Structure 1
Amino acid sequence: MLPEKLANKIHQRKTENALRTLGTSLPLTDFSSNDYLGFSKSEQLFNAAHAYLAANNIKHNGAAGSRLLSGNHSLYPKLEHMLSEFHNSEAALIFNSGYDANIGLFSSLPQRGDVVLYDEHIHASIRDGISMSHAKAYKFKHNNLTHLGELLKRYQQSDTIYVVTESVFSMDGDSPDLVQLSNLCKTYQAYLIIDEAHAIGILGNNGSGLVQATGLEQHVFARLVTYGKALGCHGAAVLGSKALKQYLINFSRSFIYTTALPPHSLAAIQAAYQELPSHIKRAQLHENIKHFKKDHFGCASLMMTRN
């Protein structure tokens, strides 16, 4: 039996018809998952990942421990170098998931005396990470740069200011003006962090995201890219400077105290990236988005293709 307070919370969810349950996938057209390009069900990508492991004589074994101990497989530096090249970033650090990446970044980066300004529609994982830090945090109205400017001016005497947003918001499918946002952060010497979870694979040249599409790679302090959405596999990465990567390796608890991804997960990420430049389903997805926007159906960024 649950303690009474917890049981009451479950009962309240039931009465509000909001109780979460786990179900199985049904053979229907997909309007709810993050598998935008159908990569998670692609036999071609599955076979490519296994072929890469076989060609490099890598056994399909599991992980051995934390990357700081025995889990830093030789595929990690190769993949992180490829990610840096693809995303025009000085360095990349792989995490086990987007949630782990956001928790690890935002719990360790902001310090006491710092201020975090975040879009009110920001993802729960970022909110959770911020709440674990010692910094003060304030939300600004969704995509409202005027309100953000007011907060930047108000807190400009803080030790360090971090501004956090997403390049594509998952629920509404909209985006901030990244160029104006970047310029505003420059004015107040704030560090800009952008979560690109719903842009990777979908937007920008070869699906590289909106930061690169707007040429802001060198003006964004950190980018988060996740692989459990359009790329159909598992894991995530923080893109930034070599100094940021070194800091996270030393202080990000969700990176330090967890078992590393196994080799086949790394091979799957690599296979998905290699598929992006020529993948025709990206064009098909955008045609679907136009169709549903024309007919006033829901959020454009969540329109899915079916395999």
Structure 2
Amino acid sequence: MHNNDIDLETPGYTVRGDRALLNLSSNNYLGLADHPAIIEAMKEALLSEGAGSGASRLVTGNRSLYGRLEQKLAEWQSCEAGLVFANGFMANTGVIDSLVGRGDVVFSDRLNHASIVDGVILSRAEHVRYRHNDMEHVRSLLSKYRDRRRKLIVTDAVFSMDGDKADLRELVALKQQFGAMLMVDEAHSGGIYGRRGEGLSHDLGLQDQVDIHMGTFSKSFGVYGAYVCGSRTLIRWLVNHARTLIYSTALPPSLVAGISKALELVISEQWRREKLFEATRLFRSSLRQSGFIIGDGDSPIIPLIVGNNDAVLRFSRELEAKGIAAVAIRPPTVPDGTARLRFSLSAVHSEKELINAVNCIRAIGHQMGVLR
């Protein structure tokens, strides 16, 4: 698979040196990162509002664009209020640090994102990690710590390295049984699941049972930033206690305008989600039929487990030589012995591109002895 005839700005490709590589390692799930309507909205706001906000939102950095976006986000999430953060890392650390502290306990899936882990550490609450998606383990831990002042369960909706889903139905039942709060990080599920791309919680009809809805604008939305939605009380509390919001310069107005336009497209263009799922089904089934070990699920995050660190690096280099960008993920990001190629698909990938990519992956797999 050679892409020498591909325009360097073609959607679904990335540039390394003077070569265009089919980009199978991007989080641009819906293909919005270079959407002309988003770019135009950002241009207009840049000319009318200036390059930067100039201060934190609680000083003089707030603009009307923020309020309008947060109202739209709250409506989209079926919540009372919303709040925009600079990025997902700052949203997770700011929220967790604001809600719990010494004497409290946080129950966190072992495969949760690093920002969740760091948020718990900063909060000084006791950090209790449960085995990945092991609901009986969660139940036993909640029972053990049932007398704590505050109990917070935090989980990714879709896990970033494995592409599988949290058992949100059971987590909701457990949080109700033991009087805990539930926070769901929809970074890799927002825009993809749900009738209007609201995320996995909405897709399962559990949105009213989740206390804190968090998501990012840097993946399906193709822009940058993050949001938190919930009750008015929650959002007022965060405005006054989330240090990552209070002591951080507000996002540039042009970026907020771009997010607003991206939200409109996420809601209205259902065909992007449909195309993404079609591509995902094709790619997953083709890799499995070839004999590769890949993770379970239906998300566009597809880990191909190689195991050996040196082997996965070589596999990645061989793919790049064939015109495919597929990044090797190794410990400590993933557990020892599970080094992998982490494929992530986009709605802009064509069936032909994906079939050609699978053919290349299969050939290299045989050449390296990964496939027998």
TM category, shorter: 0.7 to 0.9
Does structure 1 residue 247 correspond to structure 2 residue 265?
Answer: no
SS at 1:223's partner residue? strand
Residues 249 and 86 (structure 1 numbering): CA distance in 2 closer, same or farther, change over 3 Å? same
Q: Which residue of 1 aligns with 2:360?
A: none
| Residues 98 and 123, structure 2, Cα contact 8 Å, conserved in 1 | yes
The aligned residue for residue 107 of structure 1 is: 97
Q: Describe the shift of the 1:26–1:133 C-alpha distance in structure 2 as closer, same or farther (beyond 3 A).
A: farther
| Structure with bigger gyration radius | 2
1:240 is matched by which residue type in structure 2? G
Q: What is residue 204 of structure 1 aligned with on the other side?
A: 194
CA distance in 2, matches of 1:237, 1:34: 17
Once the two structures are superposed, what CA deviation does each residue of 1:88-134 show, in whole Å capped at 9, x if it has no partner?
01111100000110111112211211110000000000101110112
**In the TM superposition, what are the counterparts of 1:170-249 in structure 2 within 5 Å?**
170-249=160-239
Correspondent of 1:160 among 150, 154, 157: 150
- With the length of structure 1 as denominator, give the TM-score of the two structures: 0.87
Q: What is aligned with 2:345? A: 304
Distance 2:37 2:29 in 1: 16
- 1:58 alignment counterpart: 48
> What's the counterpart of residue 280 of structure 1?
271
CA gap 1:275/1:238 in 2 versus in 1, 3 angstroms: same
What's the secondary structure of 1:207's corresponding residue? coil
Change (3 A) 1:166 1:26: farther
Aligned-pair distance for 1:240?
1.1
Q: Which has the higher strand share?
A: 2
- Structure 2 residue runs of 5 or longer lacking an equivalent are 1-15, 302-343, 350-372
SS at match of 1:212: helix
- Tell me which of the two structures has the higher relative contact order, counting C-alpha pairs closer than 8 angstroms and 6 or more residues apart: 1
Identical counterparts, % of pairs? 38
Greater Cα shift, 102-111 or 139-148: 102-111
**How big is each residue's C-alpha offset from its partner over 1:41-89, in whole Å with a ceiling of 9 and x where there is no partner?**
22232124445x39xx833431110000010111111110010001101
Q: CA deviation at 1:246?
A: 1.2
Establish whether residue 35 from structure 1 lines up as the match of residue 33 from structure 2.
no
> How many residues end up aligned between the 2 structures?
282
Query: Aligned partners of 1:153 and 1:244: how far apart in 2?
Result: 26
Deviates most, 295-304 or 157-166: 295-304
Q: Tell which deviates more after alignment, 270-279 or 227-236.
A: 270-279
Q: Deviations over 1:174-196 (max 9, x none)?
A: 11221221011100011011000
Query: For residues 31 and 208 of structure 2, what CA distance do their matches in structure 1 show?
Result: 31
State the shift of 1:213 in Å.
1.5
Q: Secondary structure at the match of 1:229?
A: coil
Is the CA contact (8 Å cut-off) linking 1:172 and 1:301 kept in structure 2? no
Segments of 4+ moved more than 3 angstroms: 23-26, 48-51, 297-300
CA separation of 1:156/1:250 partners in 2, compared to 1, >3 Å: closer, same or farther? Answer: same
- More deviation, 230-239/27-36: 27-36
Please report how far the alpha carbon of residue 26 of structure 1 lies from its aligned counterpart in structure 2 after TM superposition: 5.4
Instruction: Give the direction of change, closer, same or farther, for the CA distance of 1:79–1:124 in structure 2 (3 Å limit).
Output: same
Secondary structure of residue in 1 paired with 2:133 = coil
Gaps of 5+ in 1: 1-22
After the TM superposition, which of the residue ranges 240-249 and 64-73 deviates more from structure 2? 240-249
Contact 2:276 2:300 in 1 (8 A): no
Are 1:170 and 1:301, in contact at CA under 8 Å, matched by a contact in 2?
no
In structure 1, how many angstroms separate the alpha carbons of the residues matched to 2:27 and 2:237? 31
Q: Report the residue type matching 2:129 in the other structure.
A: K
User: If the length of structure 2 is used for normalisation, what is the TM-score?
Assistant: 0.72
Deviation, structure 1 residue 154: 0.5
Map 1:290-301 to 2 at 5 A.
290-295=281-286, 296=288, 298=294, 300-301=299-300
1:262 is matched with: 252
Structure 1 distance, partners of 2:116, 2:215, is: 13
**2:130 is the counterpart of 1:89:** no
Displacement of 1:241 in angstroms is 1.0
Aligned equivalents of 1:133, 1:44: Cα separation in 2: 40
Give RMSD over aligned pairs: 1.8
